């Protein structure tokens, strides 16, 4: 039976939970606390490497699970389902594109990061180019993006979901989540975060599978999806427009480059630029790969995460499309899945932000700081981040959820491409120097910030109203803008580098793809007891799986193109 799709009382709290719902939620929290305590007890928490990089001794399966869980925050969980409901399948490109970038992370970026013996990504940039100003800029930029986009979106989506399902106060929902999340993040460091992320991944996947099966069962199977979606017309529409109606290209991944909501050109090139920033140059993600026991474990972790990133199409986006007509139950399981998504992303952000501030900013301000002081500062930073998050709640409460998702995409497309350009040129072009990198970042910041300001001054008009925004907003999709910004930054870096002195040899050796020690290809590291033959065998296993993964990805792209 079709439900009324009007949006009245959208934020009204739902009915009371059943006993089964309460049991499911209680079991979830009990498991979470148990794994947090267990991993905190076994983690090496008293050294900088142990606390921030899990002693560089993590195996592949928790790394892969943590990469997936860290990226699937509650904001993305809600965003994928909501975007699927609004626009169809194309949003899956945001997940499937990660396959190629995750493989680039493991095969290209991580070997260079490991050889440079870094803890943070801005630290690599300092070693590669010299000087402090780029390192400080990237550290501050990462912290600001974490607080004002990642934490904001995840807190809003997660707390609002709990508020609707349980009827709890918005503040209570947020503060309780922050408290539980911070408890084991502060205590155990990265190792605890990674192991609890592995638990959250199992809960998210199992819960999403159950919910997806129930959703498809309600409509009579996958074969009925297109017909059910096409008939899911809202009770309120705008005359003589297609506003709020199901899209005609809802079942297509590749859409028109001019009229499509997610043009294939932007999803192929612009999204890859933004995804490279997220997966290969952002501390939240790369920190997990840096904790790997050796390079083969980092590669296997990326492959596992890539396979998991293929799932949201069937587990989140298609159920979101079905939700236009049906609203499946299983409320307790839905809350457990949402809390898993929220807590996994928050722990990852808290830990990586703590690492950035402690190792890049505090150690610069106090070069004489010892390990005990650094560990104390790292824990205190998490407490401060919690305070900032709570202070941000009134702004989130007064904001519209859809506007927040648009805001996050706009910020990323305006600020991330210059960072991607500098990392790629730093790794693949030996002639790139500090002068070029700095002024390229500044040029990209000015252009990106200009568009960002224009977007806030001229928000998109409601569907059906004439679009009177400036041409840069009206005519250029944000994914196409990301391509232009990337090219502009690269051109400034190249021009300025060629006009100034080349970098010193110490800034190139083992810090670019062309000067990397080739023995890293086996994946071994000093002190590793495994034989070169065994490393070579597992390297080949990883290589085979990488090829297989790309074949699976290409098949799905072609099937839904």
* Per-residue pLDDT at 521: 47
Question: Of the spans 227-241, 255-269, 337-351, 425-439, which averages the highest pLDDT?
Answer: 425-439
Write down the pLDDT at residue 393: 66
Give per-residue pLDDT as tens, 177-236: 777 777 777 877 888 888 888 888 888 888 888 888 888 888 888 778 777 777 767 666
Please name which of 148, 2, 179 lies closest in space to residue 75, comparing C-alpha atoms. 148
Q: 3-state class of 263 per DSSP? A: strand
Residues, the chain, total? 561
In DSSP terms, 56 is beta-bridged to none
Q: What is the spatial distance between Cα 379 and Cα 509, in angstroms, rounded to a whole number?
A: 34
pLDDT attached to residue 75 = 63
Confidence grade of residue 261 (pLDDT, cut at 50, 70, 90): confident
Average pLDDT, stretch 454-469? Answer: 80
pLDDT in tens, 522-544: 455 545 556 778 888 888 999 99
Q: What is the pLDDT of residue 1?
A: 37
User: What percent of the chain has a predicted confidence (pLDDT) above 90?
Assistant: 32
So what's the pLDDT on residue 237?
A: 59
Taking the C-alpha atoms of residue 273 and residue 131, their distance in angstroms, rounded to an integer, is 26
Exposed e or buried b for every residue in 91-102, given b needs 16+ CB within 10 A?
Answer: bbbbbbbbbbbb
Mean pLDDT of the chain: 82
Is the Cβ–Cβ distance between 105 and 387 less than 8 Å?
no
> Residue 102 pLDDT more than 60?
yes
pLDDT of residue 561: 75
What are 424-443's pLDDT values in tens digits? Answer: 999 999 999 999 999 999 99
Which tops the pLDDT comparison, 405 or 356? Answer: 356
Q: What is the pLDDT of residues 12-25, one digit of tens each?
A: 455 566 788 778 87
pLDDT of residue 364: 87
pTM of whole model > 0.75? Answer: yes
Across residues 366-380, what is the average pLDDT? 87
Residue 492 pLDDT > 90: yes
Residues with Cβ < 8 Å from 442, sequence gap 6 or more? none
> Is 388 within 8 Å of 246 (Cβ atoms)?
no
Find the radius of gyration of the CA atoms of the chain. 23
Residue 129, CA distances (Å) to 132, 193, 203, 438 in order: 9, 31, 43, 9
Q: Confidence class of residue 107 from pLDDT cuts 50, 70 and 90?
A: very high
Residue 9 pLDDT? 43
Residue 101 scores a pLDDT above 80: yes
Provide the pLDDT for residue 6: 39
Among 86-90, 113-117, 239-243, 549-553, the range scoring the smallest mean pLDDT is 239-243
| 546-550 CB contacts, 8 Å cutoff, 24+ apart | 546/103, 546/107, 546/299, 546/303, 549/99, 549/103, 549/303, 549/306, 549/307, 550/99, 550/100, 550/103
Give strand pairing partners of 263. Answer: 255
Q: Residue 461: phi, psi to the nearest 5?
A: -70, 155
**H-type alpha helices, 317-475:** 318-322, 331-356, 363-365, 371-391, 393-397, 401-428, 434-457, 471-474
292 strand-pairing partners: 58
- The confidence score (pLDDT) of residue 2 equals 40
Helices 434-457, 401-428: crossing angle, 10 deg rounding:
170
User: What is the three-state SS of 383-425?
Assistant: HHHHHHHHHCHHHHHCCCHHHHHHHHHHHHHHHHHHHHHHHHH
């Amino acid at each position: 039976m079709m439900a009324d799709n009007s949006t009245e009382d959208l934020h009204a709290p739902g009915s009371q939970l059943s006993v089964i719902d309460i049991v499911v939620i209680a079991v979830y929290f009990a498991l979470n606390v148990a794994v947090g305590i267990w991993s905190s007890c076994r983690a090496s928490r008293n050294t900088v490497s142990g606390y921030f990089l899990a002693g560089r001794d993590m195996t592949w399966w928790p790394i892969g699970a943590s990469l997936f869980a860290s990226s699937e925050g509650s904001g993305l969980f809600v965003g994928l389902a909501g975007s699927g409901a609004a626009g169809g399948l194309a949003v899956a490109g945001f997940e499937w594109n990660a396959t190629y970038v995750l493989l680039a992370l493991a095969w290209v970026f991580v070997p260079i990061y490991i050889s440079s013996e870094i803890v943070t990504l801005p630290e690599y940039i300092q070693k590669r180019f010299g000087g402090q100003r780029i390192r400080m800029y990237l550290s501050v930029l990462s912290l600001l993006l974490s607080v004002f986009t990642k934490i904001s979106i995840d807190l809003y989506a997660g707390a609002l979901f709990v508020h609707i399902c349980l009827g709890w106060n918005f503040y209570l929902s947020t503060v309780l989540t922050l408290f539980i999340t911070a408890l084991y993040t502060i205590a155990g460091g990265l190792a605890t975060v990674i192991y609890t992320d592995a638990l959250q991944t199992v809960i998210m996947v199992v819960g999403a599978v159950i919910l997806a099966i129930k959703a498809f069962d309600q409509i009579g199977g996958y074969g009925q999806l297109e017909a059910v979606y096409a008939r899911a017309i809202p009770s309120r529409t705008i005359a003589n427009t297609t506003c709020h109606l199901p899209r005609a290209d809802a079942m297509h991944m590749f859409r028109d480059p001019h009229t499509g909501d997610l043009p294939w050109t932007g999803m192929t090139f612009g999204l890859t630029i933004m995804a490279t920033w997220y997966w290969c140059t952002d501390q939240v993600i790369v920190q997990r790969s840096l904790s790997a026991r050796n390079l083969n474990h980092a590669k296997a972790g990326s492959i596992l995460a890539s396979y998991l990133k293929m799932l949201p199409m069937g587990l989140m986006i298609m159920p979101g499309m079905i939700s236009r007509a049906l609203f499946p139950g299983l409320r307790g399981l839905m809350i457990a899945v949402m809390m898993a998504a929220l807590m996994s992303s928050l722990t990852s952000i808290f830990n990586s932000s703590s690492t950035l501030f402690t190792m890049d900013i505090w150690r610069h301000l106090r070069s004489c700081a010892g390990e005990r002081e650094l560990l104390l500062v790292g824990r205190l930073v998490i407490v401060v981040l919690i305070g900032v998050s709570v202070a941000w709640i009134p702004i989130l409460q007064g904001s519209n959820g859809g506007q927040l998702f648009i805001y996050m995409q706009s910020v990323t497309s305006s600020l991330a491409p210059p960072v991607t350009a500098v990392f790629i040129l730093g790794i693949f072009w030996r002639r790139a120097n500090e002068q070029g990198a700095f002024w390229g970042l500044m040029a990209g910041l000015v252009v990106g910030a200009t568009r960002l300001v224009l977007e806030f001054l001229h928000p998109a008009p409601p569907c059906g109203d004439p679009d009177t925004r400036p041409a840069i907003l009206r005519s250029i999709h944000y994914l196409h803008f990301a391509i232009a910004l990337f090219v502009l930054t690269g051109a400034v870096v190249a021009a300025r580098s060629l006009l100034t002195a080349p970098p010193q040899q110490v800034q190139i050796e083992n810090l670019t793809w062309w000067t990397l020690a080739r023995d890293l290809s086996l994946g071994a590291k000093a002190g590793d007891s495994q034989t070169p033959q065994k490393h070579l065998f597992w390297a080949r296993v990883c290589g085979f799986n990488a090829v297989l993964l790309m074949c699976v990805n290409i098949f799905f792209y072609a099937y839904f193109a």
